[in-house]
Chain A
Amino acid sequence: AQSVTQLGSHVSVSEGALVLLRCNYSSSVPPYLFWYVQYPNQGLQLLLKYTSAATLVKGINGFEAEFKKSETSFHLTKPSAHMSDAAEYFCAVSVQGAQKLVFGQGTRLTINP
Chain B
Amino acid sequence: DTGVSQDPRHKITKRGQNVTFRCDPISEHNRLYWYRQTLGQGPEFLTYFQNEAQLEKSRLLSDRFSAERPKGSFSTLEIQRTEQGDSAMYLCASSSKDRSKYSGANVLTFGAGSRLTVL
Interface residues of A (CB under 8 A from B): 4, 6, 9, 32, 34, 36, 41-46, 49, 51-52, 90, 92, 94-106
Chain B, interface size: which category? 20 to 34
CA distance A101 to B34 in the complex (A): 11
Q: Tell me if A100 and B56 are in contact (CB < 8 A).
A: yes
State the total of A-B contacts with C-beta under 8 angstroms: 70
Please tell me which one of the listed residues A43, A46, A98, A105 contacts residue B91 in the complex, with CB atoms under 8 A apart.
A43
| Stretch from B11-19, B37-45, B62-70, B71-79 forming part of the interface with A | B37-45
Partner of A99, one of B3, B40, B56, B110: B56
Q: A43-B91, A96-B103 are in contact. Are A103 and B112 (CB under 8 A)?
A: no
B55 touches A43 (CB 8 A): no
User: A43-B91, A99-B56, A104-B42 known; 4 other A-B pairs, CB under 8 Å?
Assistant: A9-B40, A44-B93, A98-B104, A106-B41
